[in-house]
Amino acid sequence: MHRITGRAGGDSLIEMSPSDSFNDDLNGYHQHPSSSTGSFQEGQSGIDKQQQSKDSVFFRDGVRRIDFVLSYDDDKDGERKQERRKVYEANLEKVGLELETEDKSESEDGKTYFVKVHAPWEVLATYADVLKIKVPFKVNDIPDNSEMPMNWLSTPFRLPEHVMHPEPDFFTAPFNKSKSDFFLIDNKDTFFPPSTRNRIVYYILSRCSYFRDECAEKDKKGIKRLLNNGTYTAAFPLHDSRYWIRSRDDKCESERYNLYKHWARFLCFFKEQPLNLVRKYYGEKIGIYFAWLGFYTEMLLFAAVVGTICFIYGFLTYGDNQWSEEICSDKIGGNIVMCPLCDKKCSYWKLNTTCNSSWQSHLFDNVGTVFFAIFMGIWVTLFLEFWKRRQARLEYEWDLVDFEEEQQQLQLRPEYETKCTNRKMNRITQEMEPYLPITSKCARSCLSGATVLLWISLIIACIIGVIAYRLAVYAAFASIMKDSPTAHLEVVGPYITPQLATSVTASCINFVIIMILNLMYERVAVWITDMEIPKTHLEYENKLTVKMFLFQFVNYYSSCFYVAFFKGKFVGYPGKYAYMFGWSQLRNEECDPGGCLIELTTQLVIVMTGKQVWGNIQEALVPWLMNWWGSRKARNHPESLYSRWEQDHDLQGFGQLGLFYEYLEMVIQFGFITLFVASFPLAPLLALINNIIEVRVDAWKLTTQFRRPVAAKAHSIGAWAEILNGMAVLSVVTNAFIVAFTSDMIPRLVYMYAYAPKGEMTMKGYINNSLSVFNISEFPEFSRPDDDENPAWFNSSITTCRYRDYRYPPGHEKQYSHTMQFWHILAAKLAFIIIMEHVVFIVKFLVAWLIPDVPADVRARVKRERYLVQEYLHNYEVEKLKIQLSQNSSECNCTPMIYPSLSKHEVLSECL
């Protein structure tokens, strides 16, 4: 074989000589892929489709496997496209790939051509060597002693052994074409699994050019550019069967059918995931996602149980809520007149009107909530540490221990190679490689950063708009609902308050804005990331991850941060209220006497639940409807007329960033259940229910609604791990501040221990103590309620109103300034934050230190395997040299030199 040598990912593809490639003349058929029409030669164009196995993944000869399919429509005005296809397919043939074209007359719609691509052994072996793909050389003989105690209890959750472990365990080593006899090659046609074959072919397709040698435009290369400019309409590997039935061809594995039967159906929600089969069929990158999602769901079970117990505790202590009893009491809450919550249109009101919200707040604002916030800080650490161990075990089982992602991703992106015309010497490889000048790189990064900041500013502007809506609409709701007929409803009437109406409508509007901004920003983020021209696929995904997460972090969480940390904190007091921006007529919102925690809970439930419901609809229903509409004509045809490539062509493309959006969805959910969990202990339960559905929805859509993705390797979840770690640290801080400043936990404790009457540790009198007094006559004219807004019970005998704060009463020498109790409470809040953060962080770091990232048995097995690989390679070289020397000795009379044998301890020391 002759080839043009070049580094992996360079400008030159490895070119096969005509003598090395198979002749595609079996059954008297030879296809010219350079033909613009792709028609068959004489004697083959009349093949009857009914006589062919159309649900097959093989060429017409039934021997050569279809590793990839390209499709295109032969439009009359597309001469340039025809020329590109002609040159591109000719170059693919030069590389050694074999092509077979299905004429448009053979397709279901009568206008689509399908080019089937097959990679023969020479091409696969050559590129497996280039890509350092690991292949088996010996059956793994290390005994597995990882039997779990009481293993029989897990029997109902297990899957059949042939599904869980579809292939035996081998020792593997990077493929070396010159040592092909070292590896366990029983059959060259099946030695490389379909996922590896399509990965190799895609690597070739991504770097093959579509220009002639004499042309000057030598940046024209890659299937991605041909798809973008419409030369081809699709490029995809084939599923091996229909998902609901096995393939009729015995040589087809029907792994897709097994995945659907044992994994993608919702009735399998309680079963373990066949991760080894997922990895074998889709590749390690998709396999590691489902392993992480499954592990995250398992860990959520513990958080959901504890959160539910805390909620039940709040429900069971419902009757011990003395401060709510005082609010609801006619003698106490019914006699306390509260100051208006807005200017002009809001009237005076009695405290007992907030009776229901006070009881609801107790369900989430209790001692159990503090315990749960601390528990979740420790749970996050356990989740991340145990995932590292699980990931390490998968790396060993999936032959990714020596897989260095940075090394793998040194294969440059084709877009980088084509757009970077400058060249410089690589100090390591000593080869010329494309590079982006530092000035251009800085300019692109600055433009990208400015665009991200612009969009984040747009989110903040929208949030300010929602806040302004809340301030403006509250007054309207307060005026309208005072005589509303809903107030007389027996069951729901007491719950429909101006506060609730404002909160719910604002949350819904905020959710709609979030969805709209997401749809717009996704395209912008991809565009600016493309504009930066990242060097490798890893760098591309990391840049896009940071941009998308930063945007969605602000988009989803900003409203929750406002309610948790800003609402009710900067309102001033009657007669000297604080206004939005200081000059507007919109008065800052106050918290309900029951606290802002219940409103934070409402906001969290609406945004989190709405996102999850909308996400599932978008993920499952939209692809199903598009596929149903796209294949509406084919469904009326006999099965024999609907070929495997046409079936897959009618499915949706998964896309290079398909997994990116799945991770992003789960990480945003992770933020909801960690950053604000102190306000809603049932959040992990909602997330658990969603994820049980999510695993099966993702599996179902990947197996049934999408084309088979190109297999890709990955040994971790990438940049998402660092994001999760950052959110874990931030969650401790946010929950400490929520308990201290959003809930009423600290003011109640300070009152009970320091200000309760007669030194009793009781909450009796807390409500009266927590409300300050204001003289109605001191209201400025622009803030005083209109006379027609006041309720019927209000009369001139009422001279004061109460408001939520700790200030001296009128007539005091320090009237309306903060009392000493206010500063005691503030000091207690700060002390609680410091103590809680230090306790949780110390436990977190202690747990992280005690739990090793790699299990001891995995570490030992990795060392053992490395040692055995070195030993077998050494013995192979020795035997090979002995055979060579013995052959040479038969040709000469000289005494052969004895090859020095290395001792085992030298091999072992080299390995360790």
Question: Are the CB atoms for 58 and 643 separated by under 8 Å?
Answer: no
Q: What is the pLDDT of residues 544-558, one digit of tens each?
A: 888 888 888 888 898
Per-residue pLDDT at 42 exceeds 70: no
| Interatomic CA distance for residues 24 and 733, integer angstroms | 66
What percent of the chain has pLDDT above 70? 84
Q: 148: Cβ–Cβ under 8 A, 6 or more apart, which residues?
A: 154
Q: How far apart are CA 568 and CA 83, in angstroms?
A: 68
- pLDDT at res. 119: 96
Measured distance CA(301)–CA(305) in Å, rounded: 6
Mean pLDDT in residue range 567-590: 82
Q: Are 233 and 219 in contact (CB under 8 A)?
A: no
For residues 9 and 89, the model is more confident at 89
> Is the pLDDT assigned to residue 735 strictly greater than 80?
yes
Burial of 263-291, coded b for 16+ CB within 10 Å and e otherwise, reads bbeeebeebebbbbbbbbbbbbbbbbbbb
- Name the token pair of 6: 């070049």
pLDDT computed for residue 51 by the predictor: 46
Looking at residue 886, its pLDDT comes to: 85
243 Cβ neighbours under 8 A, 6+ residues apart: 256, 257, 259, 260, 264, 703, 704
The residue type at 408: Q
* Cα separation, 218 vs 676, whole angstroms: 54
- Hey, which residues does 68 pair with through a beta bridge? 117
Integer Cα distance of 310 and 524 in angstroms: 43
- Is the pLDDT higher at 431 or at 455? 455
- Rounded Cα distance between 595 and 590, Å, is 9
- Rounded Cα distance between 452 and 630, Å, is 36
Determine contact, residues 259/271, Cβ cutoff 8 Å: no
The per-residue pLDDT for 492 is 46
Q: Look at residue 787 and tell me whether its pLDDT is greater than 60.
A: yes
In angstroms, the CA 170 to CA 869 distance is 11
Give the pairing type, strands 800-804 and 771-775.
antiparallel
Question: Lowest-pLDDT range, 325-334, 358-367, 386-395, 775-784?
Answer: 358-367
Cα distance between residue 282 and residue 278, in whole Å: 6
- Tokens for 322? 């003395």
Q: Is the pLDDT of residue 498 over 70?
A: yes
Q: What average pLDDT score do residues 580-585 get? A: 72
Q: How many CB atoms lie under 10 A from the CB of residue 187?
A: 6
The pLDDT value recorded for residue 27 is 33
Q: CA of 153: how far to CAs of 49, 144, 165, 621, 636, in Å?
A: 52, 20, 20, 36, 48
Q: Is the pLDDT of residue 371 over 60?
A: yes
pLDDT for position 115? 96
Indicate the range of 487-501, 640-654, 664-678, 789-803 predicted with least confidence: 487-501
494 vs 724, which has greater pLDDT?
724
- 407 vs 436 pLDDT, higher one: 436
DSSP 8-class letter at 633: T
DSSP string across 46-76:
T--GGGS-TT-SB-TTSSSB--EEEEEE--T
Confidence of residue 261 (pLDDT cuts 50, 70, 90): very high
Confidence class for position 757, pLDDT limits 50, 70, 90: confident
CB 822 within 8 A of CB 810: no
Q: What number of other Cβ atoms are within 10 A of residue 160's Cβ?
A: 10
| CA dihedral of 457, 460, 465, 467, whole degrees rounded to 10 | -160
Mean pLDDT score, 877-898:
70
In whole angstroms, what is the distance from residue 855 CA to residue 857 CA?
A: 6
pLDDT in tens, 87-134: 999 999 999 999 999 988 888 777 899 999 999 999 999 999 888 888
For the stretch 215-229, pLDDT in tens is 545 557 789 889 888
In sequence order, what are the beta bridge partners of 235?
Answer: 70
At 128-167, the pLDDT tens digits run 988 888 889 888 777 766 666 666 677 788 898 889 988 8
* DSSP per-residue codes, 848-894: HHHS-SS-HHHHHHHHHHHHHHHHHHHHHHHHHHHHHHHHHHTT--S
Given a cut of 50, whether residue 296 has pLDDT beyond it is: yes
Give the least confident one: 53-57, 204-208, 361-365.
Answer: 53-57
pLDDT digits (tens, 9 = 90+) for 635-652: 555 555 678 899 899 899
Question: Nearest 5°: CA angle at 311, between 306 and 314?
Answer: 130
890: burial class by Cβ within 10 Å (0-12, 13-18, 19+)?
Answer: exposed
d(CA 464, CA 861): 57
Cβ count near 743 (within 10 Å): 25
Residue 108 and residue 642 in contact, taking contact as beta carbons nearer than 8 Å = yes
Beta bridge partners of 338: 349, 802
In this predicted structure, what is the pLDDT of residue 192?
93
Residue 7's pLDDT is 37
Instruction: Report which DSSP code applies to 447.
Output: H
Report phi then psi at 193, rounded to 5: -65, 160
Tell whether the model's pLDDT for residue 41 goes beyond 50. Answer: no
Mean pLDDT of 449-461: 89
Mean pLDDT across the chain, nearest whole number? 82
Give the residue with greater pLDDT, 894 vs 601.
601
Structure tokens at 17: 């000589």
What's the whole-model pTM score? 0.85
Beta bridge partners of 818: 807
Q: What would the mean pLDDT of 848-867 be, rounded to a whole number?
A: 87
According to the model, what pLDDT value does residue 428 have? 67
Structure tokens belonging to residue 599: 């409103």
Give the model's confidence band at 494: pLDDT under 50 very low, under 70 low, under 90 confident, else very high: low
Q: Which residues contact 900 (CB under 8 A, 6 or more apart)?
A: none
The answer to whether residue 889 scores a pLDDT higher than 60 is yes
Quote the tokens at residue 911. 């390995």
Q: Which helix (H) or strand (E) holds 137?
A: strand 134-139
**pLDDT over 90, % of the chain:** 31
pLDDT tens, 816-837?
A: 999 999 999 999 999 999 999 9
Listed in order, strand segments (DSSP E) in 507-605 are 572-573, 576-577
Three-state SS for 580? coil
How far from the centroid of its chain's Cα atoms is residue 462's Cα? 25
- Mean local confidence (pLDDT), 68-79: 83
Taking residues 356-372, what's their average pLDDT? Answer: 85
- Please give the distance of CA 861 from its chain centroid, rounded to a whole number: 31
Q: pLDDT band at 483, cuts 50/70/90?
A: low
Higher pLDDT, 424 or 64: 64
3-state secondary structure 747-776: HHHHHHHHHCHHHCCCCCCHHHHHEEEEEH
